Amino acid sequence: MSESAITPIFTLSEKRSIYSLSGVLFFRMFSIFLLLPVFSVLAMDLEGATPFLIGVAFGAYGLTQGFLQLPFGMWSDRAGRKLVIVIGLGLFIAGNLLAAFVDSIHWMIVARFLQGTGAISSTVFALIADLTRPEVRTRANAALGASVGIAFALAFGAAPFFGEWLGLNGMFLMIAVLSLASLVLVLTTVPNPETIKLLPQKVSFWNMAKMVWKVPALRTISWGGFVCGAGLSSTFFLIPMILVQHGFERAEMWKIYLPMMLAGLVAMVLAAIFAEVKNRFREVMLFGIVLLLTSLVFMGLG
């Protein structure tokens, strides 16, 4: 077998980069997913809480995240990936510490906005691209994606227990500690890229946004991500409230979440295999969006 036919393997530096950034992303996403299944019911105990204000607090994080991903990515092109990740994690920790010590819904909204300003996900994936060779970059990104999937599964299983044990403020304090662990990983184990390709100073945020929007594939992916994210957030804002109204104890919600998670995992694997084998990625994504919207309609009618 020729040398070119041998599947490229990760170098020691690449392995270190993948393991450390996967750990950073795992702690970050575990912290985010941990709140999804329980935030809306735990926030009812805050002073001045109404369903509308709880919804604002719930969505504030995602709103600032969405608006700041591109600016943070562009900033990292100029200032360096690790610096931006460290600052983003610092902002996220500050938001969690504020949320851990507030007792009103209005201050919780402020804290959630502050959490969202630490928009580092795009920068983490950009950094792994800087630290890996092109021929192994797809597998490196897949490893980071796997850490997100594991974080999702573990967080949804653990959220009802942590919510009942620690309460909302205690969960935010725990998330701050986990985020501090991510910060330590970045500072101590993530290598520095050998070269940094600086973004031309003339490129503005709006010009970059227009460039992204003009590419049909990126536009489709962005729209699909928006719909799926909005559907996921709205679903897990409503489901805890509906379960409480139907007499479920907060500690018993895992009986609903666990089957949902397992069914979703099976569906995800089967859909990925079908899309890969049949080369039907667009159709699978559209079917998933339609299925998500249909399920929301049935939930509204139920």
Average pLDDT over residues 1-18: 69
pLDDT value of residue 268: 78
Burial class (CB in 10 A: 0-12, 13-18, 19+), 216: exposed
Mean pLDDT, all residues of the chain: 84
Is the pLDDT reported for residue 1 higher than 50? Answer: no
The label of the residue with tokens 């985020």 reads 179
How many separate domains does the chain show? Answer: 1
DSSP H helices in the chain: 12-35, 39-42, 51-79, 81-100, 105-116, 121-131, 137-188, 205-214, 216-245, 254-278, 281-301
Characterize 88-125 residue by residue with b for buried, 16 or more Cβ atoms within 10 angstroms of its Cβ, and e for exposed: bbebbbbbbbbbbebeebebbbbbbbbbbbbbbbbbbb
Closest of 45, 78, 32, 33 to residue 201, by C-alpha? 78
Closest of 244, 242, 236 to residue 264, by C-alpha? 236
pLDDT band, residue 4 (cuts 50/70/90): very low
- Can you give the residue range of the structural domain that contains 260? 3-301
Higher pLDDT, 300 or 112: 112
Closest of 132, 125, 160, 192 to residue 34, by C-alpha? 160
Average pLDDT over residues 281-286: 82
pLDDT value of residue 3: 46
Read off the pLDDT of residues 240-278 as tens digits, 9 standing for 90 and up.
888 888 787 777 777 787 787 788 778 877 888 888 788
Average pLDDT over residues 103-120: 94
Cβ distance 176 to 27 under 8 Å? no
Read off the pLDDT of residues 149-192 as tens digits, 9 standing for 90 and up.
888 888 888 888 898 899 999 999 999 999 999 999 999 988 88
pTM over 0.95: no
Cβ distance 96 to 173 under 8 Å? yes
Biggest CA pair distance of the chain: 70
Q: Alpha carbon 60 to chain centroid distance?
A: 14
Is the pLDDT reported for residue 302 higher than 70? Answer: no
Closest of 118, 232, 99 to residue 172, by C-alpha? 99
Read off the pLDDT of residues 261-270 as tens digits, 9 standing for 90 and up.
788 778 877 8
Is the pLDDT reported for residue 91 higher than 90? Answer: yes
pLDDT value of residue 278: 82
pLDDT value of residue 200: 54
Higher pLDDT, 105 or 66: 105
Closest of 184, 192, 134, 172 to residue 23, by C-alpha? 184
Burial class (CB in 10 A: 0-12, 13-18, 19+), 84: buried
pLDDT value of residue 79: 86
User: Domain containing 219 — which CATH number?
Assistant: 1.20.1250.20
Hey, what are 130's tokens?
């800087």
Is the pLDDT reported for residue 58 higher than 70? Answer: yes
